[in-house]
Structure 1
Amino acid sequence: MSSLLPISRLLSYRLHRVANAISRSAAARYRRDFDVSLGEWRTLALLGEESPLTLNRLAARAGLDKAQMSRVVARLDERGLLVREAGAGRSTPLSLSRKGHSVYRGLIKAANERNEAFLVCLTDEERRVLDSALEKLGKLAKALESQENL
């Protein structure tokens, strides 16, 4: 039997640690510069990329449960960053308000700057390999998740 890897060498643990560190620093910047939480940022970014989306669709795309997304949407709505179109409950189409679009433009610019700051330590070839590896790992993870949920 081959030797077992300790948790610190497992791919899922290592990816989780990197992703958390990136998210924590992003959360601090977005809170400081735009007064939004990480969940609010992701919601604004998803609506800025594709709109309108229902709460259920937003939750799925953001990787949040529906109750969490409902709270995020309520906070953004209170701040006037969203527009709710006609509909009922979680099937109501949501999009960014004019104010929401303004915040989104600042956030996505900051996110792109952060993205480039992280990628600068990689060569062009390493960037291509990383992108390819993440695509493959993402597809495999979804397939394994489907199998585990049977």
Structure 2
Amino acid sequence: MDIPSDESSLAHAFALAAELRGLVGRLKRRLREQAGGGDLTPSQVSVLLRLEQEGRATTSSLARAEGMRPQSMAAVIAALESANLVSGAPDPADGRQTLLSLTEACRQRIQEGRAARQDWLSRRLQARLSSDEMELLATAVGLLKRIADD
């Protein structure tokens, strides 16, 4: 693939990157509004996503993974426990430790939030784009995947 490297194409790529970053941020905010999870902090959301993706974990392992002090993570976990989003159980390998996991209520909340975002975005695409524009967007999504993948 031949990628031009002159100054004007670099300036164009810079401007396009700034516009794309802003647009992705706006789209993220709109999607977040649809899920109704606005009462959670970014740290709480990050912990919930990590537990969903990676499974049970201790407070200390979550703190390391999130780059936080264990005391700060303990506060995040306490808030999530009081909201009935995570629960702890003794680690079968080391009873001194507690393994945290998502509650069924949390799993349902995550699923409902994703469904709401998917529904909103699907309806928005259908209402605002022609079939030709949908095909163009599909091509753009493929390009964005190529940018995002390692």
Say whether the fold is shared (TM-score over 0.5): yes
Among 21, 24, 33, the residue aligned to 2:29:
24
* TM-score, scaled to structure 2: 0.58
What are the superposed Cα offsets for residues 70-113 of structure 1, whole Å, 9 maximum, x if unpaired?
3654432221111234358xx96542212212322321211212
Does the C-alpha gap of structure 1 residues 18 and 72 become closer, same or farther in structure 2, counting only changes over 3 Å?
Answer: farther
- TM-score normalised by structure 1 residue count: 0.58
8 A contact 1:27–1:38 mirrored in 2: no
1:26 maps to a residue whose letter is: L
Number of residue equivalences: 129
Contact kept, 8 Å, 1:80 with 1:100, in 2: the verdict is yes
Q: State whether structure 2 residue 138 is matched by structure 1 residue 132.
A: no
Partner residue of 2:15 out of 3, 9, 15? 9
Let me know the Cα RMSD of the aligned residues: 3.8
The gaps in structure 1 that reach 5 residues or longer are: 141-150
Q: Return closer, same or farther for 1:77/1:116 CA change in 2, 3 Å cut-off.
A: same
1:123 to 134, 145, 150: 134
Structure with the greater alpha carbon radius of gyration: 2
The 1:35–1:10 alpha-carbon spacing in structure 2 relative to 1, beyond 3 Å, is: closer
User: Percent identity over the alignment?
Assistant: 15
Per the TM alignment, residue 52 of structure 1 is displaced from its structure 2 partner at its CA by 1.2
Q: Partner of 1:37: helix, strand, or coil?
A: coil
Structure 2 counterpart SS, 1:10: helix
Gaps of 5+ in 2: 1-5
Which residue number in structure 2 is paired with residue 82 of structure 1? 86
Pick 1 or 2: higher relative contact order, CA cutoff 8 A, min separation 6.
2
Correspondence for 1:114: 120
Q: Work out the CA distance in 2 between the residues paired with 1:21 and 1:134.
A: 16
